[in-house]
Amino acid sequence: MTDSVIDLRGVSRRYDEGPPALDDVSLSVAPGECVAVLGPSGSGKSTLLNLIAGLDRPDSGTVTVAGTRVDTLGEAASARFRRTHVGLIFQFFNLLDDLTVLENVLLPAQLAGARDKASREHAARLLDTLGIARHAGAYPGRLSGGERQRVAVARALVNRPALLLADEPTGALDTASGEDVRYLLNDLHAGGQTIVLVTHDLRLAEACATRTISVRDGRVEAGVPA
């Protein structure tokens, strides 16, 4: 399936002696798709996301993202792949407290060695688009949860990734902020961005996803068009 952004075949991952976190999972995501991965805690959702992002390696099976076999990449190649092809959004934002909002957003571009002026302009545009331009010089600790998640989204998008991976993007937000993030992701998807969401939030899945996948005990149970 060469035109897929994500192609997992027979992927299994087991931690220590416990039951498999993922067991023989196969999955494809087409360009422009927004897939919501649903399931209870400990079902293997985050493991799935980590494998797609190249943060972890499967014990068996293949993981191909944007045409690259990420399961065979070393740490350095995996990092280079991530910063050019994947944007990551975390439940608890994972912003660096000692960097300003702008510096946080710029960091992936700087790590990729992008030209400073161009990446600054792009980052400023993103902050403006996401409505947080006024906070560019502030530190994350002073922002609300919703604002922090917007910063995290801007950071994930700064290198124009082919794939956006979001792990419980509304999990740490109040209702109003969660609503904001839902609109934001929906807008991104509408603009053609390929997105994989791991979430407990059914409203988010309904609002954004073109397809939902249910994971239970490490196995994909269904792939249902939203």
Partner 1 sequence: MNGLNRVIRSGVRRRRVQTVVIALVAAAAVTASVLGAGLLVASEAPFDDAFAAQRGPHLTVQADPAHVTAAQLTASASASGVSAAAGPYPLLVVPMAVGPQGMRIPPLTLVARADPGGAVDRVELIGGRWATGPGELVMGGGMVRLPLGATVTTAGGTELTVVGTARSVSGTAGGWVAPSAVAALDAPGVTHGLQMLYRLTDPAQVSAGRDAVAATLPSGAVVSARSWLDIRQDAVEDAAVFVPFLVAFALLGIVMAVLVVGTVIAGTVGAATRRIGILKALGCTPGGIVRAYVTQALIPASIGALAGAVAGNLIALPVLAETEEIYGSANTAIAWWVTVLAAGGVLAVVAATGWAAALRAGRLRTVDAIAVGRASGPVRGRWASRLAARLPVPRPIGLGLARPFARPVRTSATLLAVAAGAAAVTFASGLGASLVRIQTALDQNTADVTVSGSFGGPGPGGAAPGGLPPGGSAPSGSASALDGAAVLAAIAAQDGTRAAYGVVEEPVTVVGIADPVRLSAFSGDASWAGFEMVSGRWFAAPGETVASAPLLKAVGIQVGDSLTVRSDDGTTTSLHIVGEVFESSPSVFTSTATVPGLQPAEFPIALTDGTDAGAYAEKLTAALTAQSLTAQPTGADVDPLLLLIQGLTATLTLLLLAVAALGVLNMLVLDLRDRVHDLGIHKALGMTPKQTIAMVIASVAGVGLTGGLLGVPLGIAMQRLVVPSMAASGGLHLPASLLDVYGPALLAALALGGPAVALLGALLPAGWAARTRTATALRTE
> In the complex with partner 1, which residue's Cβ is closer, 104 or 212?
104
The CA distance from 193 to 202, in Å, is 20
Q: Which of 4, 43, 64, 159 binds partner 1 (CB under 8 A)?
A: 159
Among 56, 71, 147, 201, binds partner 1 (CB under 8 A): 56
Q: Which amino acid makes up residue 14?
A: R
Interface map 60-89 toward partner 1 (x if CB under 8 A): ---------------xx-xxx-xxx---x-
Tokens, residue 137: 């010089």
**Shortest reach from residue 101's CB to partner 1, in Å:** 12
- Residues 48, 192: Cα–Cα separation, whole Å: 23
- Residue 106's alpha-carbon distances to 12, 136, 194, in angstroms, are 35, 11, 21
Rounded distance between C-alpha atoms, residue 6 and residue 179, angstroms: 27
CB of 57 to partner 1, least distance (A): 9
CA angle 98, 123, 145 (to 5 degrees): 55
Q: What's the burial of 9, exposed, middle or buried (CB within 10 Å: 0-12/13-18/19+)?
A: middle
Q: Which is nearer to partner 1, 43 or 212 (CB)?
A: 43
By CB under 8 A, residue 107 contacts partner 1: yes
Nearest approach in angstroms of CB 83 to partner 1 is 2
Number of residues engaging partner 1 in binding (CB under 8 A): 33
- In the complex, the residues that contact partner 1 under the rule CB under 8 A are 50, 53, 55-56, 75-76, 78-80, 82-84, 88, 90, 94-100, 103, 107-108, 110-113, 139-141, 155, 159
